[in-house]
Amino acid sequence: MSGQNSFEAMQKIRRRVRLCDYLTVAQLYLQDNYLLERELTFDDIKPRLLGHWGTCHGINVAYANLKSFFRDDPDFVFILGPGHGFPALNANLWVDGELEKIDRSATRDANGIAYLCKRFSWPDGFPSHASPMTPGIITEGGELGYALANAYGLALGHPEKTIAVLIGDGELETATALDSLNLRNLLTSEKNGRVLPILHLNGYKISAPSIYARKSERELKELIRGFGFEPVWIRGDKPEHFQAALNEPHEAPFYILETEKGETGPNRHQVAHQIPLKNPKTDKYELEELTEWLKSYDMGELFSRKKGITL
Ligand SMILES: Cc1ncc(C[n+]2csc(CCOP(=O)(O)OP(=O)(O)O)c2C)c(N)n1
């Protein structure tokens, strides 16, 4: 159950994040030509763009790093607070074959990619937020605040479990999430599992500055210490930093994953909470930007019709 710090392991995490970032963008925008096998046209773009991009890269980073570190632990659980980042979660579940287990059309091949992308935010398809249709989801992911409480609930009486929980910095402004930090005091017994909170400090709640991102590093760390945790800062999306943080021995760690909202996407000067390019169906410059954005992940190196996924 320990992390593998080899160069290959880090490359694998990076490649998985790139693959899931690509699939996230493809779900948000594409209704055809999912692998960019010909030039992207207006017809390839969905008529109604509905979903959340801003939080997704951070989710993909957290998922890939945790998956790599806890890969041998059958009792490891990941809880996602920002359920609006559903295309990222769905991409990861598709990559792992979890989606296919409950939905036979979600095969890990080109047909499955078409199915995943076309049906995201589509009538009778996947909703735009995590929902009980999603493997492993027990509550609707549209309402922020309950992730940490759910994590402690799951840990109760389950000493074998390790539960990592990603909490948005906007989410931590809800009374429910903030007060759930006190639950640590109730679960110190060895009869319970371990909860690993990860604050996703991407700076914004929708597109306004989050309170926690405007505190100084020292003030935020003091706040976290006040709840009895040891703050462990993870700067940026480099797997080396994430894996090093997971490898540090701490009694009660509270990870702070600092990313830039909308990272790896366009329009980085604006805060891209939902759809960063709004008109690629009608604006040829935006279509070009979307093409460049999708190409930046070099999907051809990560997936081919013949070989499938190569991580
Ligand atoms: C209880 C609740 N209040 C408000 C909302 C509306 N809402 C959706 S996303 C969001 C911002 C979330 O910010 P954050 O937790 O920082 O996530 P991220 O920035 O990573 O998207 C808000 C306020 C909600 N979903 N649930």
- Take atom 10 of ligand 1 and give the residue whose Cα is closest: 206
Q: How far apart are CA 264 and CA 158, in angstroms?
A: 38
- How are beta strands 308-309 and 303-304 bridged, if at all? antiparallel
The pLDDT tens digits for 200-228 are: 999 999 989 999 999 999 999 999 999 99
Average pLDDT (70-83) is 95
The pLDDT tens digits for 264-300 are: 999 766 788 999 999 999 999 999 999 999 999 999 9
| pLDDT given at position 132 | 86
| pLDDT given at position 269 | 63
The pLDDT tens digits for 84-139 are: 999 999 999 999 999 999 999 999 999 999 999 999 999 999 999 999 889 988 77
| pLDDT given at position 3 | 47
**How would residue 142 be classed by pLDDT, with cut points 50, 70 and 90?**
confident
Centroid of ligand 1 to alpha carbon of 268 (angstroms): 19
Q: Where are the beta strands (DSSP E) in the chain?
A: 76-80, 162-168, 194-201, 204-205, 208-209, 230-235, 253-258, 303-304, 308-309
- Look at residue 48 and tell me whether its pLDDT is greater than 90: yes
Q: Which residues pair with 120 in a beta bridge?
A: 126
| pLDDT given at position 5 | 65
* Domains present along the chain, CATH in parentheses: 7-305 (3.40.50.970)
The pLDDT tens digits for 5-21 are: 699 999 999 999 999 99
pLDDT > 90 in the chain, percent? 91
Q: Which residues lie closer than 8 Å to 125 by C-beta, 6 or more apart?
A: 118, 119
pLDDT > 70 in the chain, percent? 98
pTM of the full structure: 0.97
Average pLDDT (154-171) is 97
144 lines ligand 1 (CB under 6 A): yes
15 lines ligand 1 (CB under 6 A): no
- Take atom 22 of ligand 1 and give the residue whose Cα is closest: 206
- How are beta strands 230-235 and 253-258 bridged, if at all? parallel
| pLDDT given at position 170 | 98
202 lines ligand 1 (CB under 6 A): yes
| pLDDT given at position 1 | 40
Classify burial at 96, counting beta carbons within 10 Å of its beta carbon; exposed 0-12, middle 13-18, buried 19 or more.
middle
